[in-house]
Amino acid sequence: MSVADVKAVEQEPGTSAAAGARTGARERLAALFRAELILLGRNKTALFMTLLMPLIMAFAMRQAVSEMPLQANGLSVGTVLLPGTIGFVLLFAVYSSVTGSLVTRREELVLKRLRCGELSDREILAGSALPAVLLGLAQIVLLAVLGGLVMDAGAPRAPHLVVLGVLLGMLIAVAMAAASTGITKSAEAAQLTTMPFVFVSMAGSGMIVPLDVLPDKIANILELLPLSPVMGLVRDGWIGQGDLTDTLKRLVIALVWAGLAVFAVRRWFRWEPRN
């Protein structure tokens, strides 16, 4: 994807504002969203990571999950795999995708040029992340409808907890992605700098191994990871076993991580290529 591609997208009918005319925030975001969506569609690697990687990971983990002592904790293969797949969507379809997109646009000076127009900084970040967020939400809705049948997990017993967990997960994933660009010099480097957050979340946030089956001391530490409260809320929503104290604790942990990520973005986000 090159600067020429971006310019071509911006020059397509309907994506650029008429000369001399100011547009509203909704129109500006819609134009940026459309341009980013077209660029995402042209990037086969990003499409693979966004659409197929979460499903591949879920399929690969099925055998390992089936050998865990789940029934003693009120869980089943479906109620572990399905929330875990939603976690994979947050990691691959949102976090990794948004990080790569922002770094690529920064390298090509697109972010710098966008700041010369009517878009505010928040609109640029929001518009850049919007395609990945909407595709991720669409995947999660499909998983909730079709995955419940295929994985024999049924429908969520407390859907409000699932919705709350997914929204918090989206917020944390996008904020972490923008924060990760502070230590990422290039699009190639993004494949490495995103790995720590991806691996730590997969291993310790309950996406593969539910924290319920781990010793209490280890589980108490791992539940402090950024996506652990998200997975806890989603899984509680599916099996309907969450209580108010656990829910409030997870909300506090998730909001603290979101706040830290937003602080990191405000402090270290760079609009021009890093040397």
272 has pLDDT over 80: yes
- pLDDT band of residue 41 (cuts 50, 70, 90) is confident
1 has pLDDT over 50: no
Q: What is the pLDDT of residues 193-248, one digit of tens each?
A: 999 999 999 999 989 888 888 898 999 999 999 999 999 999 999 888 778 898 99
Q: Is residue 145 part of a domain?
A: yes
Q: Is residue 33 part of a domain?
A: no
The count of domains in the chain is: 1
18 has pLDDT over 50: no
Q: Pick the residue with more confidence: 24 or 99?
A: 99
Whole-number pLDDT of residue 22: 64
Q: What is the pLDDT of residues 159-172, one digit of tens each?
A: 999 999 999 999 99
Q: Residue 51: what residue type?
A: L
Q: What is the pLDDT of residues 101-127, one digit of tens each?
A: 999 999 989 888 888 888 888 889 998
Mean pLDDT score of the chain, rounded to an integer?
85
Whole-number pLDDT of residue 28: 84
Q: Is residue 44 part of a domain?
A: yes
C-alpha span between 153 and 79 (Å, rounded): 5
Average pLDDT for residues 117-145, to the nearest whole number?
A: 89
Q: Is residue 85 part of a domain?
A: yes
Tokens of 146: 């079709």
Q: Is residue 162 part of a domain?
A: yes
Q: Is residue 14 part of a domain?
A: no
150 has pLDDT over 80: no
30 has pLDDT over 50: yes
94 has pLDDT over 60: yes
Q: Is residue 165 part of a domain?
A: yes
C-alpha span between 56 and 78 (Å, rounded): 15
- pLDDT band of residue 2 (cuts 50, 70, 90) is very low
10 has pLDDT over 70: no
Q: Are 80 and 232 in contact (CB under 8 A)?
A: no
- pLDDT band of residue 21 (cuts 50, 70, 90) is low
Q: What is the pLDDT of residues 176-188, one digit of tens each?
A: 999 999 889 888 8
DSSP per residue, the chain: --HHHHHHHHTSTTSSPPTT----HHHHHHHHHHHHHHHHHH-HHHHIIIIIHHHHHHHHHHHHHHTS--GGGT--HHHHHHHHHHHHIIIIIIIIHHHHHHHHHHHTTHHHHHTTSS--HHHHHHHHHHHHHHHHHHHHHHIIIIIHHHTT--S-SSHHHHHHHHHHHHHHHHHHHHHHGGG--SHHHHHHHTHHHHHHHHHHSSSSS-GGGS-HHHHHHHTTSTTHHHHHHHHHHHHT---HHHHHHHHHHHHHHHHHHHHHHHHH--SS---
* Residue 85 domain boundaries: 39-268
